[in-house]
Structure 1
Amino acid sequence: MKLFMASLATETNSFSPIPTGWSGFKEHLHTKTASQGEAGLYAAAVTVWRRRAEALGWEVVEGLSTYAQPAGPTVRSVYETMRDDILDDLRAALPVDVVLMSMHGAMIAQGYDDCEGDMMARIREIVGPEAKIGLELDPHCHLTETMLENTTAIICYKEYPHVDVVPRAEELFTLCADAAAGKTTPVMRDYDCRMMAMYHTPFEPVRSYVDRMSAQEGREGVLSVSLVHGFPWGDNARSGTRVLVMTDGDADLAASRAEALGCELWDMRHELRTFPTMDEGLDRAVALEGAPIVLADFADNAGGGAPSDSTFVLKAALDRGLTDIAFGTFWDPVLVGMCIDAGIGAEMDVRLGGKIGPMSGDPVDLRITVRGILRDAVQHLGTAAMNMGDCVWMESDGLHVVVNTKRTQIFHPEAFENLGLDLSQMKYVVVKSSQHFYDGFAPIAAEVIHLGTPGAITPNFTIVPYTKRDRNYWPKTENPFS
């Protein structure tokens, strides 16, 4: 057997003012040897696939693996150049038995609303109908017909936060290897739930739903089940929640199981978590005993394409006179450079945040002391190391802020602690993240509060200004099935 594998990933916020270009991809991961020691989510899958294939004595050909922090649509020439690089390497590797791709599922480029579908169609044209094509996706994807028509197997991560990239990569390899050996005939069907929501898997009722969904796998001909959360801030005709079921040769079974699970999710839509407004959440935090109280600045999550420099929560905390409060991370390479030049202990006047656009709020002027500096900082999501660039810890009268050079969300307390900031001494910790922080912060938090903040990825799905997605979804429409 011969395997070709590669990865091309970003999550596109159609309404973000930040273009996704070469710097976005080359800043985080851009290599053809990702499976041989690179860090990050999009190196994890190809690392698994190389290990599994070589253990079976397969020949492995590795193409480009690259990832950009979510932002606006990818520049057309950038996408086409990377796509064609992967396809050229695939042609050179022919003939191949299996192609495995790690992508996001919500990548949009100028001129391409469905980059993953475009890639799958071109791969299928090259390898022909007999080769097996597997695609691993983030559940915050737009599952399209083009993806489904041109692949053998699609698997989405099951957990949010995404701590299960490796086990899903293992499953995808097994599915495609079995299909290539003639042991199975994967058939996929999906069901449109006509919903737009956030599905935080550590919390009920989603936790039990995912467990029930997973329990169907490996029984009665069901090979795999994925909940496609959808990415609400991507302007794609297929944006929204779907259930995907893969069976061994039984299309009717796949369709009926997908519909049953989709209807079950629809029935519990009013039980899904809602978020307090910023002021409501801060009121609740101030009234609580214990520390630290972890507050999620939901709408300024770089992982959803936000700038990660909004000041809405910062200004509210200053107005309330809150102290012993830590914020992270503000994306500001210029300010980081100034603080590094000044050195630890330096006192200086700075202008923080509010730089990218209206969704960032107004800048805040502070008199700060530089408390910590760390070059090439790293934090973890599960076992995946995530690069933060250079980081600085600034303090201003009991208000502590981490500023960094590589736009990223907060995943783990080490983003603060590696700078020397002791979170056990903080009353409040504000993280610019929607949910990926939870796995790392829940064990140290007295309580976690997700704030429905203003910003680039507001959790109010009724006001997303779609031009390509129709309005026939809940909660925009109370009954989109009528």
Structure 2
Amino acid sequence: MRIFTATLATETNTFSPICVDRRAFEASLYAPPGEHPETPTLCSAPITVGRRVCAEKGWDLIEGTAAWADPAGLLNRAAYEGLRDEVLDQLRAAMPVDAVVLGLHGAMVADGYEDSEGDILARVREIVGPDILVCSELDPHSHLTAKRIKAADFFVYFKEFPHTDFVDRAEDLWRIAVDTLEGRVKPVMSVFDCRMIDVYPTSRDPMRSVVDKIMRIENEDADILSISVIHGFMAGDVPEMGTKLLVVTNDREEKGDALARELGLELFSKRGTFIMPQIDEKQAVEEALAATSWPVVIADVWDNPGGGTAGDATVLLEELLDKGATETAIGTIWDPMAVQICMAAGEGARIPLRFGAKSAPGTGNPIDGIVKVVKLVPNAEMRFGESFAPFGDAAHVVLNGIDIILNSTRAQSFDPSLFSAMGIDPLSKKILVIKSTNHFFASFSQIAAKIIYCSAGTPYPNNPAKTPYRRAPKNIWPMIADPHGIQHGAA
């Protein structure tokens, strides 16, 4: 067997002012054929898992380019077309192949390509023809479109949020691919449109129980090859935005359709109960300062670079400064220019510095003060599960007793190693402020005495009922109350 694999992925917040070009991929991950490291990144696990699987089977794995850019706004058209065509040309050169196994995200939007993954998959199908297996692993914070379903044989999505299972789901992807190629199964996809958009952290109920249930069904029913909840991505203003339920069966389409509908309506019945409760910055700081055990982690959930924002909001920092907080660390505030100034000044310098709140309204005000430059780290990284996440050249500064990490490559706060990489012992602090919606939970929950979810400012379109969508569907919850007509017995 000859299998082609590659990765092209980013998550597009169409409301974000931070546009993406080729340099953004090169800053996060750009690995030409054969140069992908042994450690997988979020969307490239099909490559690393594929190496092991193909070695065990004695199959030829032909690796294409792996490219990932951290979430942001619209992807530059020339950058998208260049990377896409690079991968497609590699596929053409590899022909004939028995299968194409891809790592995609599912929420990529390029200038001129509203359904970028649909575009890629359709072109892959055109190259390989109708009979060659085409499959992909994807992120659930994405859009499942009719064009993608038509082009591929099956998809597997991460089940967990935080996405701690991207390697496990790549294993599922390859297991089904191998079984298909060896004639044991015939994957068929069934999709139910839940007609809703929400946020579904799996670290708490009710979503924890939903994921446990679908994994139990997979284990107990031989007809069911995979079940995925596609959460949708509320910051992606595209026509097929929304939550979908995907069931992959072994040639049992009617059974898959029925199960997808059953699970999808069950999910819909719990709408509005999934996301963690949040408080504003004033209450969050008040609670953190009143705590008697530490560290208290305040998650600035909507200024999350993992959702495409700049990560430069200062709303929480302003409140902490106003209340005279000490023994506090902020990780991070994105400001490449401020980092350059700190790099030029050198460690130990005391300098006047303005930083933060440059990207958009609703992110607070720039901070001005005399800061001490404590530590400078070129090409800094933090852990993210089995992988590492770069946050670029970074500066640890102190202002009025508060430790602040300024970074040049946008990245959400995945792990306490973010702080230790910059010379800050996270366990020595009473308050840690991080920027992440829920990916932080797996690691920070292990050290936190308390976690506070804070909605500070408006850097992210977090209320779909009020978001000024232009392209997204208007007939889904919470835009309308009852899109399935359940209250009237129509379901």
TM-score range normalised by the length of the shorter chain: over 0.9
Instruction: Describe how 1:390-401 pairs up with structure 2 within 5 A.
Output: 390-401=393-404
| Cα offsets for 1:59-110 (capped at 9, x unmatched) | 1111111011111111111111111111111111111111011010000011
Kindly indicate whether residue 82 of structure 2 is the aligned counterpart of residue 77 of structure 1: no
Asked whether the equivalents of residues 185 and 249 of structure 1 are also in contact (C-alpha less than 8 Å), the reply is yes
The TM-score normalised by the length of structure 2 is: 0.95
Distance 1:68 1:243 in 2: 27
Of residues 13-22 and 334-343 in structure 1, the stretch that sits farther from structure 2 once superposed is 334-343
Kindly indicate whether residue 412 of structure 2 is the aligned counterpart of residue 414 of structure 1: no
Distance 1:280 1:462 in 2: 25
- Structure 1 counterpart of 2:6, which letter? A
In structure 2, the partner of 1:477 is 480
Look up the SS of the partner of 2:289 in the other structure.
Answer: helix
In structure 2, the partner of 1:364 is 367
Asked whether the equivalents of residues 310 and 455 of structure 1 are also in contact (C-alpha less than 8 Å), the reply is no
User: Structure 1 residues 236 and 31 mapped into 2: Cα distance closer, same or farther (>3 Å)?
Assistant: same
Tell me the matched-pair count. 482
Asked whether the equivalents of residues 306 and 455 of structure 1 are also in contact (C-alpha less than 8 Å), the reply is no
In structure 2, the partner of 1:403 is 406
Distance 2:312 2:415 in 1: 18
Asked whether the equivalents of residues 307 and 360 of structure 1 are also in contact (C-alpha less than 8 Å), the reply is no
Distance 2:89 2:366 in 1: 46
Look up the SS of the partner of 1:440 in the other structure.
Answer: helix
Shift of 1:183: 0.9
- Structure 2 counterpart of 1:231, which letter? F
| Cα offsets for 1:359-407 (capped at 9, x unmatched) | 4332110211112222222111111111122221111222110011211
Of residues 239-248 and 450-459 in structure 1, the stretch that sits farther from structure 2 once superposed is 450-459
In structure 2, the partner of 1:305 is 308
- Structure 1 counterpart of 2:251, which letter? G
Kindly indicate whether residue 356 of structure 2 is the aligned counterpart of residue 353 of structure 1: yes
Shift of 1:246: 0.4
Distance 1:336 1:57 in 2: 49
In structure 1, the partner of 2:155 is 154
In structure 2, the partner of 1:445 is 448
Asked whether the equivalents of residues 198 and 272 of structure 2 are also in contact (C-alpha less than 8 Å), the reply is no
Distance 1:454 1:396 in 2: 22
5+ residue gaps, structure 1, are none
Asked whether the equivalents of residues 35 and 50 of structure 1 are also in contact (C-alpha less than 8 Å), the reply is no
In structure 2, the partner of 1:93 is 94
In structure 2, the partner of 1:202 is 203
User: Structure 1 residues 286 and 477 mapped into 2: Cα distance closer, same or farther (>3 Å)?
Assistant: farther
Kindly indicate whether residue 328 of structure 2 is the aligned counterpart of residue 325 of structure 1: yes
- Structure 2 counterpart of 1:394, which letter? V
Look up the SS of the partner of 1:361 in the other structure.
Answer: coil
Asked whether the equivalents of residues 39 and 387 of structure 2 are also in contact (C-alpha less than 8 Å), the reply is no
Shift of 1:245: 0.5
Distance 1:280 1:195 in 2: 30
Of residues 378-387 and 33-42 in structure 1, the stretch that sits farther from structure 2 once superposed is 33-42
Shift of 1:438: 1.1
- Structure 1 counterpart of 2:398, which letter? E
Kindly indicate whether residue 248 of structure 2 is the aligned counterpart of residue 246 of structure 1: yes
Asked whether the equivalents of residues 34 and 43 of structure 1 are also in contact (C-alpha less than 8 Å), the reply is no
Distance 1:271 1:468 in 2: 26
- Structure 2 counterpart of 1:301, which letter? N
Distance 1:422 1:29 in 2: 28
Distance 1:95 1:267 in 2: 47
Instruction: Describe how 1:35-184 pairs up with structure 2 within 5 A.
Output: 35-37=36-38, 40-184=41-185
Asked whether the equivalents of residues 195 and 474 of structure 1 are also in contact (C-alpha less than 8 Å), the reply is yes
Asked whether the equivalents of residues 221 and 247 of structure 1 are also in contact (C-alpha less than 8 Å), the reply is yes
Asked whether the equivalents of residues 15 and 461 of structure 2 are also in contact (C-alpha less than 8 Å), the reply is no
Shift of 1:477: 1.9
Identity %: 39
Distance 1:423 1:88 in 2: 47
Structure 1 residue ranges (4+ consecutive) displaced by more than 4 angstroms after TM superposition: none
Distance 1:283 1:479 in 2: 38
- Structure 2 counterpart of 1:375, which letter? P
In structure 2, the partner of 1:28 is 28
Look up the SS of the partner of 1:108 in the other structure.
Answer: coil
Look up the SS of the partner of 1:300 in the other structure.
Answer: coil
| Cα offsets for 1:277-302 (capped at 9, x unmatched) | 33333333333321111011111111
- Structure 1 counterpart of 2:200, which letter? Y
User: Structure 1 residues 161 and 114 mapped into 2: Cα distance closer, same or farther (>3 Å)?
Assistant: same
Of residues 430-439 and 457-466 in structure 1, the stretch that sits farther from structure 2 once superposed is 457-466
Shift of 1:432: 1.2
The TM-score normalised by the length of structure 1 is: 0.97
Distance 1:224 1:30 in 2: 30
Shift of 1:57: 0.8
5+ residue gaps, structure 2, are 486-491
Asked whether the equivalents of residues 4 and 63 of structure 1 are also in contact (C-alpha less than 8 Å), the reply is yes
Distance 1:40 1:377 in 2: 16
Distance 1:380 1:162 in 2: 13
Please point out which of 464, 467, 478 is paired with 1:464: 467
| Cα offsets for 1:234-265 (capped at 9, x unmatched) | 01111111111000001111111111111111
- Structure 2 counterpart of 1:161, which letter? P
Look up the SS of the partner of 2:302 in the other structure.
Answer: helix
Distance 1:479 1:247 in 2: 29
Look up the SS of the partner of 1:111 in the other structure.
Answer: coil
- Structure 2 counterpart of 1:304, which letter? G
Asked whether the equivalents of residues 108 and 115 of structure 2 are also in contact (C-alpha less than 8 Å), the reply is yes
